[in-house]
Structure 1
Amino acid sequence: MRAILLETTDPAVNLATEEWLLKNAATDVFMLWRNAPAVIVGRNQNTRAQIDEAFVRERGIPVVRRLSGGGAVFHDLGNVNFTFISLGGGAMDFRGFTAPILAAVAALGVQCAFEGRNDLTIEGQKFSGNAQHVWRDRVLHHGTLLFDADVSHLTGALRVDPEKYRDKAVKSVEKRVTNIAAHLPAPMAVTDFMGHVMGHVCPGAAPGDLALAPDEAAGAAGLAESRYRTYDWNFGASPAYGFTRTRRTPGGLIEAHLDVKGGVILAARLLGDYFGRRDVAELEAALAGCRHDRDALAERLGGVELGEYLLGVGVEDLVECLF
């Protein structure tokens, strides 16, 4: 099994590397990597419904969709990600793939266990969530290892008002989490922890042989640009959903209802106690066909005489109603 340690912390590149290797690797792979702060959502999730949009926007946290199913997670440099790519069959075996990871953590003197469908725990608290994706006869298994992550950002980035979204997409499930570092007999740096895990899973791996080949890095970089940095993948690939929000504005109360598919607004309805000279149906029609995205909505509304429909309501006020 080939061992890889990714140097980049760019979430789009790292997720693209997983996909490129899944489809092109010549042998089984074990890979360790970290992301700079990012929210990673599951393949089948409604991205907007999983994130605290204001929290991630104010902090400049990117949101990226992965290939595998499961729930949304927050990554930072205190979180270590591991990936297994198996070329030998399509069975989804969570226990089998996580067994060497559990053994590596246990070797540090930490009592840990596999629980539920896909979690690794310490004293009943989750430190690793796992997911899988099958492509032809190959399996991609990856998981998180909370080593010394900022738990406040983990909860803040994923907190959202459940009344805003009505859909059947997969929801994330909150569980009590813990960092591995808090249970170690002695302090340890995250990089040393990564070295320990790599040495345990791939004991013959030479430090100088852990990098991607130039063609692999180039292939992953191209895939990051064509897929993992795009609105269509990260937001447009969300299942269809309905959005509702009620907000008081300088012009009165506005209750916004949106039907969204493929990340694009199909229909909008604006109710409330506001005043306006013109029929609001014209404004609702203008919203149809626009991405459910702040910048796109601001651009679309910038060319509309908004006060004619919603007296006293500015573009920023209305955009806030739509998120």
Structure 2
Amino acid sequence: MTTMMVTRYMKIKLQFCQRLHTWNHLRKHYTTKSGDLVFVSLSNDIFMNLAFEDWLYENENLKTKSILLMWKNNPTVVIGRHQNPYLECDVWKIAKNNLSLARRKSGGGAVYHDEGNLNCSFIKDRSLYNRYRNLDLVVEALSSRWNIDLSINTREDILLDGFYKVSGTASKLGRNTTITISPLYLIPMSMVGVHSRATQSLKSRVKNLSDSIPGVTYDSLVDVIGHQFLKGKKNMDNFQFINPSEAQFPGLQKIYNELCDWEWIYGRTPNFSLTRHFAKNLEYYIEHQITINVNIEKGRISKIDIETNFNEIYLKIRPLIQEHLIGTRFWFNDLQMSLDTIKQESRHFGEIELHSWIVSCLSKILCV
């Protein structure tokens, strides 16, 4: 072994030992307390809170403890792992208003989060998985402090006065660990002709707890639910307020970056298609008809089929449509840019009114 190779080996070994020392020090500070833990995140960033939840799920030894993570976010729409965001909310409106849209790693439906919304993540060993028991803990906690009528229905939602939904659930089951999320408390895009197998949310009549508990606050809910989770435990001091960071939890930033990525939020959308028919009287009052079918796979347009009663003229613009839309991300700015290019370049073929109408039909089916 050469001197250079030995030096490199010693350097790598030293870096590994330093990381291991830091890792052990951090884990000793945060996770070696015996008994169950309650973490309350001080971050209002949806992506950081979801990343911290996933970090705990992947790294904690849940054979020896269960964890309750509580958190709230700035205004955000959160969808389930297997959902189509375009069917659950007005994606373009969210983007234009600088709101966040996040995709959980767990299943379940779409929910709206803001700072008046408490999220409870029960992170446990797989052998302890019981969604009803987690919800019952929340019901017992709230009922112990306030005189309200809460119950759990067959869909495992928490109902107020037997009718109004105040919390739902979503779960992620691993080989050895589980997460059950209970958000205590959407307007979809007006897309026509959508065909999708994605999991769609069920609309429910909802109500805020503050309507029945005047003066209730986020802090009071955190307090009562957190102590109910630790009830009967010897270590009631295992109640930690924490601002998650990479320095505290190595690997957290990587998870955060993955959850923020367009490919995760939109690229993971289950395949779907759009189909619409259009008709319009143009030159010489002749009715022109067009049927457009668009397939979207992994968040990108994969195929466009167009049928018309004026094929000879359409065939001139068809190559432009295929060239500029196939492979394009199903995203407002990308789609608008492609349509503008098609409209501009199609002017060279004449039939400007007809080609402009075709582009207009494409714009409508793509909701741009």
Match of 1:258 in 2: 294
Percent identity among equivalent residues?
A: 21
- Flag the 1:42–1:182 CA change in 2: closer, same or farther, 3 A: same
Q: CA deviation at 1:200?
A: 2.4
- Flag the 1:269–1:7 CA change in 2: closer, same or farther, 3 A: same
Paired residue secondary structure (2:318)? helix
- 2:58 aligned with 1:19, yes or no? no
Q: CA deviation at 1:33?
A: 0.3
- 2:125 aligned with 1:97, yes or no? no
Q: Distance in 1 between matches of 2:358 and 2:249?
A: 46
Q: CA deviation at 1:322?
A: 0.9
Match of 2:27 in 1: none
Q: CA deviation at 1:209?
A: 3.1
Find the partner of 2:184 among 145, 156, 166: 145
Paired residue secondary structure (1:19)? helix
Note the aligned Cα RMSD (angstroms).
Answer: 3.0
Q: CA deviation at 1:44?
A: 1.1
- What is the TM-score with the length of structure 2 in the denominator? 0.74
Match of 2:166 in 1: 127
Q: CA deviation at 1:314?
A: 11
CA contact (8 A) 1:30 1:83 kept: yes
Q: CA deviation at 1:208?
A: 7.4
- Flag the 1:315–1:162 CA change in 2: closer, same or farther, 3 A: closer
Paired residue secondary structure (1:169)? coil
Q: CA deviation at 1:194?
A: 2.1
Q: CA deviation at 1:18?
A: 1.2
Find the partner of 2:273 among 217, 220, 242: 242
CA contact (8 A) 2:44 2:71 kept: yes
Q: Distance in 2 between matches of 1:315 and 1:216?
A: 52
Q: Which has the higher helix share?
A: 2
Measured against aligned partners, the alpha-carbon deviations of 1:3-58 in whole angstroms (never above 9, x if no partner) come to 10111111111111111110001342101001111111111112222112343233
Q: Distance in 2 between matches of 1:58 and 1:256?
A: 27
The structure with the larger Rg is: 2
Paired residue secondary structure (1:103)? helix
CA contact (8 A) 1:36 1:77 kept: yes
Q: CA deviation at 1:253?
A: 8.6
Q: CA deviation at 1:316?
A: 9.0
- Flag the 1:144–1:277 CA change in 2: closer, same or farther, 3 A: closer
CA contact (8 A) 1:119 1:130 kept: yes
Paired residue secondary structure (1:44)? coil
Q: Distance in 2 between matches of 1:195 and 1:316?
A: 55
Q: Which runs of 5+ in 1 are unaligned?
A: 147-154
CA contact (8 A) 2:52 2:244 kept: no
Match of 2:260 in 1: 229
Q: CA deviation at 1:307?
A: 4.0
Q: Distance in 2 between matches of 1:223 and 1:44?
A: 18
Paired residue secondary structure (1:178)? coil
In the TM superposition, 1:1-323 aligns within 5 A as 1-26=36-61, 27-87=65-125, 89-90=126-127, 92-107=129-144, 108-123=146-161, 124-146=163-185, 155-156=186-187, 159-161=188-190, 163-184=192-213, 186-203=214-231, 204-206=235-237, 209-211=240-242, 214=245, 215-225=247-257, 227-244=258-275, 256-270=292-306, 279-286=316-323, 287-301=325-339, 303-304=341-342, 305-308=344-347, 311-312=355-356, 319=363, 321-323=365-367
Paired residue secondary structure (1:98)? helix
Paired residue secondary structure (1:14)? helix
| Structure 1, 18-27 or 206-215: larger mean CA deviation | 206-215
Q: Distance in 2 between matches of 1:313 and 1:58?
A: 26
The size of the alignment, in residue pairs, is 309
Matching residue's letter, 1:261: E
CA contact (8 A) 1:247 1:254 kept: yes
- Flag the 1:126–1:247 CA change in 2: closer, same or farther, 3 A: farther
Matching residue's letter, 1:237: R
Q: CA deviation at 1:76?
A: 1.1
Match of 2:32 in 1: none
- Flag the 1:207–1:182 CA change in 2: closer, same or farther, 3 A: farther
Q: Distance in 2 between matches of 1:20 and 1:122?
A: 33
Paired residue secondary structure (1:268)? strand
